[in-house]
Chain A
Amino acid sequence: MIPPETTSKETSDMSTAEGSPKHSGVAPEAMATKRRSTGGQAINVVGLKAFYGSTEAVKGIDIAFPANEVTAIIGPSGCGKSTMVRCINRMHEEIPGARAEGSVKLDQVDIYGQGVDVTAVRRLIGMVFQKPNPFPTMSIFDNVAAGLRLTGTKGGDLRERVHRALRSVGLWEEVKDRLNAPGIGLSGGQQQRLCIARTVAVEPEVILMDEPCSALDPVATLKVEELIDELKERYTIVIVTHNMQQAARVANTTAFMLGGELIEHGPTNDIFTTPTDERTERYVTGKFG
């Protein structure tokens, strides 16, 4: 839909050197078959710009999210971190008047490339939202199964996959006796883990989390953070957070954004203790934002 405007020289050189298939024009099936059983693939963002109408919310970002690691995005409100993350699975374009430029590569395939099916992109790059949003008309079981049913995924035992997803988010023991109860009857924290289970059930490569704990109490937050730590063994995780302690607790690397630009990205420890940019330091020490 949106052709990549900028593809930096080095990335294109790199991919040809590795002899990977063509970036653009790759059928979604090809993307799906490239999955590894271990799961988790790296994401490479090059020259990403995002617009709402004529407002530029993300002003040309290059960032890499390593496979099977947790990357936290921090920054003050309105810095474009949510927008940037929503560009990674093309949810950004669901907003009327919104568009994106640049390239986002999932294992060498540009998800903005020609012929790429947007539903295939989202199946491989799942998303968890700020507010828990289970489907109100569905039971707990159906909520987790929804991803599989909505994508028309055939094969495999549905029941088994749902149970496995619920176990992997640590919700199984809490809900195993009431799988047919409505999903919205759960507590906020349980709902959010249900939503993560729904995402995990589709078995994506990458999970994007847009402030997944900001609507949760501290106990529920802790559970989700522990869950993130477990999930990174199978998935690449990008988490947007307002909570710097949270970034420090869960993330391998942390990126600081300000005014639509990426200011600094490095190992979490370095960002919080020895940031190279003065603005990062002022933010992490609480002097602004």
Chain B
Amino acid sequence: MSAVSGQPGRLSLMEISPRRRRTDRVMRGILLAATIVALIPLVLVMYYLLKEGLGSINGTFFTSDPTGSFFGNIGGVRSAILGSLEIVLLATLISVPIGIGVALYLTEYGRDSRFANLIRYLVDVMTGVPSIVFGLFIYITLVLSHVGGNFTAWKASVALALLMLPIVTRSAEVVLLLVPSSLREAALALGAPRWRVVFRVVLPTAIPGLTTGSLLAVARGMGETAPLLFTTAGAASLTFSLGQQMNALPLQIYNDILSPRAVVVSQAWAAGLTLVVLVLILNLFARLISRRSRMA
């Protein structure tokens, strides 16, 4: 400070003015407080999920399907867990290749062209569309038109894929832009055609980031309820057929939490806990994969 303002005397290494020290302490305090405030809801959510849900998790919770009966045995949520996994898996298979494809077009071919910028804008708009609108859209286009049945699981996958698509695209574009252009140049200068540069150099380099981005979308898709309501509409029994109504965890929670029976409500909490743990496991899994691919 003194050197800049031209005050006489040397800049001391030891002396920091009391005012600067105070400012430093206050700023640190504010940032710490903000972090704690942000953590409170997170910790509370986990706390309540564990407190309310843990009690309902037992053997039959994972091995039997909901009975839906008002009295007696309520069953488990097996069909919801497997249904969620299947619906989201199909949605991922649809949205990840397309999303990464769009991102590749934007970074490798379209770049700053007007068309590419239009796509970027539309993707941004799509990110902001409420999830219920995607559900309604599929309801109107696919369900009401009776394409391959009324309410079916694959339609739920399509609705979720629409929801996940902009998330995959946006995150993939950011990751692909991080691939140094010197690598693209190196490959092009060897006489490689652009598509080979993309598949052999750009994509492998970006794999860890692409995995993380896609997983964000998967986590988001896992938890959505609204797009499922109008598309697969839920079912109690277990099915693996994508052409039928299928149960899913968010739907099960949505139905159970309003029940007058305490056991059912508690089961909804347990299902919520299961959902969180599922996403967590997927996350760890993807990290393992991307770490291994980086080693190779």
Contacts and interface: CB of A to CB of B under 8 A. Distances in A.
A195 B191 contact: no
B189 interface: yes
Nearest to B180: A133
Contact of A137 (B188, B190, B205): B205
A129 interface: yes
A96 B109 CA distance: 11
A129 B186 contact: yes
Interface string B203-215: 0110100000000
A120 B187 contact: no
A124 B190 CA distance: 9
Interface stretch (A5-13, A65-73, A144-152, A158-166): A144-152
Interface string A94-128: 10100000000000000000000001111110110
Contacts of B205: 135-137
Contacts of B183: 133, 135-136
B185 A133 contact: yes
Interface residues of A, number: 29
B201 interface: yes
Contacts, number: 77
B192 A89 contact: no
B112 interface: yes
A134 B112 CA distance: 27
A59 B182 CA distance: 26
Interface string A14-48: 00000000000000000000000000000000000
Interface string B52-76: 0000000000000000000000000
Contact of B186 (A120, A123, A195): A195
B182, B185, B192: most-surrounded residue (chain A CB, <10 A): B192
B200 interface: yes
B187 A202 contact: no
A264 B181 CA distance: 33
Contact of A119 (B182, B192, B200, B204): B192
A91 B186 contact: no
Contacts of B184: 94
B28 to A, nearest CB: 37
A123 B201 contact: no
A119 B190 CA distance: 8
Contacts of B182: 129, 131, 133
B204 A137 contact: yes
A49 interface: no
B196 interface: yes
Contact of A126 (B190, B193, B201, B207): B190
Interface string B99-120: 0000000000001100000000
A137 B290 CA distance: 12
Interface of A: 89, 91, 94, 96, 119-124, 126-127, 129, 131, 133-137, 146-147, 149-152, 195, 198-199, 202
Given A94-B185, A146-B200, A199-B190, 13 more contacts: A91-B188, A119-B192, A131-B182, A133-B186, A134-B186, A135-B183, A136-B205, A147-B192, A149-B200, A150-B191, A150-B197, A150-B200, A150-B201
